[in-house]
Structure 1
Amino acid sequence: MTPNLQFLEIEHKFVIEADLDIRPLLDDLHQRQPEKFIQTDVQDTYFLVETPPQAVYRHRIDSYLQQLTVKSLGTDTEVRLEVNLDLDRTKGNQIEVIRAFLAPLGVLWQGTLRKEVQAFYFADVEVVHYKAHYLDRVIDCLEIEARQAPSIEGAQKILADWEKLLGLDPTKRSHASLLELLVVPTLPQALQEKVRRL
C-alpha cells in the first residue's frame, strides 16, 4: 500500500437481517478459493477516552493475534483511520497493561464485545462474517475490506466489484461502526450524546 493508505481502513459493512440465510454466500466465498481462511472467536475490548475525542481504542485478542488499535470516529465508516500495534502473544492477555496505558487519556467507558468470526482473505479483499455479542445484544455482519489498493478510489472500486460479485446492494450498507450499532444504545444518555457529537 502507498504510505497515505497505510493507516486507513477502507471497508463496507452490511448488517445481516435475522431472517436471511448467510450460508449460501459463505459457501460461495469458500468456492472462490481464498488465499487464507480463518475461523476464530475474538474478544474486543473498546475504550472511549476524553483525549483525543475523535477516536476509540480497541484491544483485540484471539488465537491468532493480539493488538492495540486506534480508530477514528465519524459519520461514515467507509474510510477511516486505523493504526494497529501488534502485542506479544507469548506474554498472555495484556489487557491490564492497556488499561494502565490509556488511563492518563481519561477513560470514559470500556466494554468487551465477543465475536464469532469467519475471515476470507483474497488478493485484493478481506471478507469477514461475524456475529458480535455485547451484554444481551447480538448483531450479525458482513464486512468487505479492500487490501493492497493503490488509492482510496481504487479501494472503493474493489469494494464495488466484490459487492456486485457477491450480490450485495451497496445502498444497503451500514454507515455506522460496530460500536455505534451494538454498544452506543446501551450507554447512559449523556455518553451517547458525547459519542454522537464526535
Structure 2
Amino acid sequence: MNSKSRSSNAQVGKLNFWGKYAHRIQEDKKEWIYEQYLSNDVLYIYCDTSIATEKGKGAIACTYVMNGKIIVKSQLVYLPNKMKSSNIYGELKALNFALSHFHKYIGTGSEVVIYSDVSTIGFIMEDVFELKEDELEKIKKETHRMYLQIIQSNVNLNLSIKYLVKDLQTHNSFYKSAHNTARKLLNKD
C-alpha cells in the first residue's frame, strides 16, 4: 500500500514585535530580538522597576524570554523610608526577583542573561565598594549573595547580569514589557 505524506515548505513569517513601526527598526536590532526569542539554550531576563515616591512603594517586573515564549511576572514592593526615590534599590529588588524565579523558566538551558537599565549594575554586582545608604548596601549584599549561591550550586550554568545600553532599550519589546508591566501594576494599586 502506497501512502503519501503531505508537507509544506512554506515558511512562517517572523513575529512583528514592533507593529506599524517595524520599518523604522534596524535589521540588526530585529535579529538580536529574534535570536533571543528563539533561543533554546539561553534564558534572557529583562528587569525593571517603577517607583511612586509619594506612595512609598514601587513595582518590579521581569520579562523571561526563551524558546519562543515570553513570560512577564511582576510584584509590588514597599520601600524603606530612605529608599522612596531610589531606582537602584528597586532595580536590585527586581534582580532578586529574577534570581529567585529563573529556575521556573530555564528548562534545559545552560545560560541566563539578566539585563538591567542601571548603568552601574556591573560595579554594584562586583561588590567592590559600599553604597552610602544602609538599606541600599543591605539589598546589594543580598543580591550579590544570591548571585554567588546560584553560581556555586549550578556549576554548569553560565549566569550574567548586564547593563542594557540605551541603544538596545529603544524599540526592545522585552525591555518595554517589563517596564510597562511595572508601571501598570504601580498605577493600578
Could you state the TM-score of these two structures normalised by the residue count of structure 2?
A: 0.25
Q: Which protein has the bigger strand share?
A: 1
Could you state the TM-score of these two structures normalised by the residue count of structure 1?
A: 0.25
Q: Which protein has the bigger helix share?
A: 2
Structure number with larger C-alpha Rg: 2
